[in-house]
Amino acid sequence: MLTVHHLRLSQSERIVWLCEEMGIDYDLKLYNRREDNNLAPDEYKALHPMGIAPVITDGNFVLGESGAIFDWLVAQYGDRGLFPAKESPDFANHLFFLHWANATFMTNGMMALVAGRMLQAEIPPFVADRMAKSWAIIEQRLGEAEYFGGSQLTTADIMMGFQLTTSRAMSGMGIDGMPNLQAYLKRIGERPAYQQAMAKAEPGMPPKLD
Ligand SMILES: N[C@@H](CCC(=O)N[C@@H](CS)C(=O)NCC(=O)O)C(=O)O
């Protein structure tokens, strides 16, 4: 049986949400972060040589890294309407946001987190510039289309979701000046699969959608 190992308040919530949108049968195992350093506990670190979330297992099979897990799940179970065909006008935008989410948007967020909150240093201007551009791109895209990958929810939305929601719950970042993002998060919050995923992944914590 496929097992999704979810480290609380982490990017592995993406995998729970993806499984719920795809309607896959899976076991979910929850792990709390360590109290002393907020990292994954030893039990989680033992799952995969990299020791970070997400990880999935199935018998002796182990796979880490959000993008690899997305690709693996789509290859095993089919895209279930979450991946536009290459003929679709949404194909390129879907690919852009699917990959940009982790490769650029998340990376910039991490650099800002390390500088600002961990080192209590000034965020380097090039990081601040990338972050400002990133949030502007998000607001613009959601003014053009209902979802990042076009008129329907795609894997791009699921890859983007953590940084727009749970990550903001931790950073305290507001989105008052972003009406398109606010409307989008309301749509996401109305999805039964998202509600189900978050109730399982973060029991007792309302999703951060405002
Ligand atoms: N690019 C990786 C990033 C994984 C990552 O940084 N995970 C963080 C949680 S958001 C983690 O496991 N932190 C706990 C630790 O490092 O022990 C992915 O998407 O899989």
Let me know if residue 28 belongs to a domain. Answer: yes
**How far, in Å, is the centroid of ligand 1 from the Cα of 53?**
5
The answer, yes or no, to whether residue 145 has pLDDT greater than 90, is yes
Q: Are residues 126 and 171 in the same domain?
A: yes
Q: Are residues 111 and 167 in the same domain?
A: yes
Let me know if residue 86 belongs to a domain. Answer: no
The answer, yes or no, to whether residue 196 has pLDDT greater than 90, is yes
Give the residue numbers spanning the domain of 117. Answer: 91-191
What stretches of the chain adopt beta strand conformation (E)?
A: 3-7, 27-31, 55-58, 61-64
Ligand 1 atom 9 nearest Cα? 10
Question: What are residue 118's phi and psi, to 5 degrees?
Answer: -90, -45
**How far, in Å, is the centroid of ligand 1 from the Cα of 52?**
4
Helix (H) or strand (E) holding 143, with range, is helix 125-144
Strands 55-58 and 3-7: antiparallel
Least confident of 70-84, 105-119, 137-151: 105-119
The answer, yes or no, to whether residue 116 has pLDDT greater than 90, is no
Calculate mean pLDDT across residues 92-114. 96
Let me know if residue 120 belongs to a domain. Answer: yes
Q: Are residues 96 and 178 in the same domain?
A: yes
**Greatest C-alpha distance within the chain:** 50
Number of domains observed in the structure of the chain:
2
Ligand 1 atom 11 nearest Cα? 52
**How far, in Å, is the centroid of ligand 1 from the Cα of 144?**
31
- Tell me the sheet residues that pair with 52: none
Residue 64 CA: nearest ligand 1 atom is 20
Residue 10 CA: nearest ligand 1 atom is 10
Let me know if residue 209 belongs to a domain. Answer: no
Q: Are residues 187 and 99 in the same domain?
A: yes
**How far, in Å, is the centroid of ligand 1 from the Cα of 16?**
15
64 three-state secondary structure: strand
For 11-44, the pLDDT digits (tens) are: 999 999 999 999 999 999 999 999 999 999 999 9
Residue 67 CA: nearest ligand 1 atom is 19
CATH number of the domain to which 187 belongs: 1.20.1050.10
Q: Are residues 104 and 67 in the same domain?
A: no
Q: Are residues 95 and 77 in the same domain?
A: no
Let me know if residue 206 belongs to a domain. Answer: no
Residue 40 CA: nearest ligand 1 atom is 17
Q: Are residues 75 and 153 in the same domain?
A: no
Q: Are residues 8 and 77 in the same domain?
A: yes
Q: Are residues 42 and 112 in the same domain?
A: no
pTM: 0.97
Q: Are residues 74 and 96 in the same domain?
A: no
Instruction: Check residue 118 and give its pLDDT.
Output: 86
The ligand 1 site (C-beta within 6 Å) comprises 7, 10-11, 39-40, 52-54, 65-66, 102
Q: Are residues 98 and 72 in the same domain?
A: no
Computed over every residue of the chain, the mean pLDDT equals 97
Instruction: Check residue 103 and give its pLDDT.
Output: 97
Let me know if residue 138 belongs to a domain. Answer: yes
Let me know if residue 57 belongs to a domain. Answer: yes
